[in-house]
Structure 1
Amino acid sequence: MTALTEFQRLEAQGSWRETPDAQLREVIVSVGEATLVLSDPKSDRPLTHWSLPAVTRLNPGKMPAVYAPGSQRADETVEIDDPLMIDAIARVQRAISLHRTHPGRLRGALTILTLVAVLAALVFWLPDAIIRHAAKIAPPAQARQIGQAVLSDIENSTGKICTRKSGQAVLDWLSPRLVDGKAHLRVVPGPLNGALRLPGDLYVLGGDLLVSAPGPEAAAGHVIAASLASDDREVTLGALQYAGLGAVLRLMTLGDLPSDAMAGYGEKLLSRNPPRPDDAALLEQLAQRGLGSDAYARTIDPTGAAVPELIENDPARTAPPGPPLLTDPQWLALQQICAG
């Protein structure tokens, strides 16, 4: 420290009183790096050492300056009237003070860091945690509401869902056999590259799977594949993550989503291929329902090169023929669900 280097050899005369009842004694006062040394002027023998950071001036602004070893030890004093020495003591004390550790500043820095960490958690972790919680606790009716909102946005790209009663009756009859009794199957006129699972056990098929296929097996395979590829909680979470925190908070407090919460989400789903389940799991489920996998596989790759396991391990190859999935009138009604 510059102040210490400048004054490390400075000396001055002073008058020292060891106790309140003792007589003043002449001493030599010298400044060390962190101490004030009082010495006998005749022998140069140090009489006492005072810690400079603790030295206290008892009469600020008055002369001679009176110092004590500390604010709690005013019984021992030294009087100094040398201005240079008085200034040196003050400057060295300031220099030492600047180089001390400041617990208050450290606590303040730690407090700021803690607040930053908390704010970061609020910004980056809390919104996702709230959305995940909302997807987890959403009751079936609320999940179905979310699914309907997604379906409405899909309709902007594919056309309105097909509502011919005879065809919808076939879908309602198929639902328990392909998925379960809680599922709802819908058809849109535009292509979907398969089937989509939406929140609330809502499944959507593209009309292309019905018009161009020789039978219902391909469409059935896509519905079963959609049910295996993701569960209802996953598709609900995906929709709510797209909607965002504000929409989710409204859903949790008021029970419904903003009207535009799913705007664009349907187009996003249509822009990518639907997720596919593990081939072995799909083959098992198709076998349990007495269905083959070849028709489904050919809609993914007509050559079969991309889906060899589904082609080679088709359950229909080894199982005895079972009853058809739909009767001819049912299949015809389903194919005409978008007509009229």
Structure 2
Amino acid sequence: MTALKKFQRLESPGLWRESPEAQRRDVILSFGNASLMVSDSAERVLTHWSLAALERLNPGQMPALYSPGADSGETLEIEDDLMVDALETVRKAIGRTRPRPGRLRIWIVAATAAGIAALALFWLPGALVRQTVAVAPPEIRAEIGQAVLARMARAAGTPCERVGGQRALDRLSARLLPGSGKRVRVLPGGLPRALHLPGGLILLNRALVEDHEDVAAVAGFILAEDLRATRSDPLADLLRAAGPLATFRLLTTGTLPEAALSDYAREVLIAPEAPLPEAEMLARFREAGLSSTPYALALDVTGESQRGLIEGDPLRGRETDPPISDGDWLRLQAICGG
């Protein structure tokens, strides 16, 4: 059973009785290949117990008492909660894989999935997040992003929908993030300069498009937020904040609890911007064929704190065409009706 690999480093003390007449011995218990190894203090293996045949002699009581089978006189007494929980989890997982007449295939698949998911939930929450993120389809990511966006409406408003402005913004995002399928929206207020959500959503504060004279500055914020989303998957961020139960629910049902979505919507609005390495930002500007200086001056009008972006500008001293036309820039600046 591959799930047992998760417990290969788990050890605990125990008391082993070889037969009803024998004295109890202090032993060390550890997981082997589908078995529980019983060793003495000198690390000599005394016996192997098959996990598939393991029986609990006193369910619900502690210390837990186990036998390697119904006809055996051997017993193990275990007080370690972690080891007992692990053995019970494995016993249940193995029990679910046993054939049931008429429903063999369904139960084998369901029991194996449930066992692996339960083990991951109990022992490896980080691995559970990684697995869920790895298998989450784009449609689910997009639904989650839209759900979080909807819950931000009370604080940040609904996305600005002026048609000409959104089309201009779509052209800008296509120019900066070609082939990514990511969507950039502008919100009326109540959020930091920019942030990102699952499903390829990048959100800009209205002030970014209205207060800056150069569209290259806005382009820089889009590139920066896309880089943040690349460095830390927003779905993984959400699941780590939501906890293992919400993550398990998403993995098994494709949905998240309402509370998890609402809590994340509040947290993302007040979270500080994650710093970005200048070298990676300059590489993004170089790839996009844009000057980094307008973005640097938008961050700090004096330029003092952004000297790296200014002095390392990949297009420093060169004239370049703006990423969108002047007409599109004017329409984008009026996206919220201003």
Aligned residues: 241
Structure 2: give runs of 5+ residues left out of the alignment: 1-20, 29-75, 90-118
Contact 1:200–1:232 (Cα < 8 Å) also in 2: no
Residue correspondence of structure 1 range 83-94 to structure 2 within 5 A: none
1:103 aligned to 2:25? yes
One-letter amino acid of the structure 2 residue matched with residue 102 of structure 1: R
TM-score by length of 1: 0.63
Counterpart residue type for residue 195 of structure 1 = A
- 2:228 is aligned to 229
Structure 1 partner of 2:322:
324
Match in the other structure for 2:213: 214
CA distance 1:159–1:124, change in 2 (3 Å): same
- Whichever of the two has the greater Rg, that structure is 1
Distance 1:134 1:233, change over 3 A: farther
Deviation of 1:313 after TM superposition, in Å, equals 1.8
* Equivalences for residues 38-77 of structure 1 within 5 A: none
The farther-off stretch of 298-307 and 225-234 is 225-234
- Give the alignment's Cα RMSD to 1 decimal: 2.9
Structural mapping, 1:292-311, within 5 Å: 292-311=291-310
Letter in 2 for 1:310: L
The answer on whether the counterparts of 2:130 and 2:236 sit within 8 Å (CA) in structure 1 is yes
Segments of 5+ residues of structure 1 without an aligned counterpart are 1-96
Map of 1:201 onto structure 2:
200
Cα 1:249–1:213, aligned 2, differ >3 Å: closer, same or farther? same
Identity %: 35
| CA positional deviation for 1:286 | 0.9
Matched, 1:175 2:173: yes
SS of equivalent residue, structure 2 residue 224: helix
TM-score (norm 2): 0.63
Equivalent position of 2:145 in the other structure: 147
Answering whether residue 133 of structure 2 is matched by residue 135 of structure 1, we say yes
Contact 2:196 2:225 in 1 (8 A): yes
Instruction: Work out the CA distance in 2 between the residues paired with 1:117 and 1:299.
Output: 55
Quick one: which amino acid aligns to residue 323 of structure 2? L
Alpha-carbon distance, 1:307 to partner: 1.6
- CA–CA distance in structure 2, aligned partners of residues 242 and 172 of structure 1: 31
Pairing 1:315–2:330 present: no
* CA spacing shift, 1:147–1:123, aligned 2, 3 Å: closer
Of stretches 282-291 and 100-109 in structure 1, the one that deviates more from structure 2 is: 100-109
Displacement of 1:241: 2.1
Q: Which amino acid aligns with 1:143?
A: R
Query: Which residue is equivalent to 2:187?
Result: 188
* Secondary structure of the corresponding residue to residue 108 of structure 1: strand
**How far did 1:237 drift?**
0.5
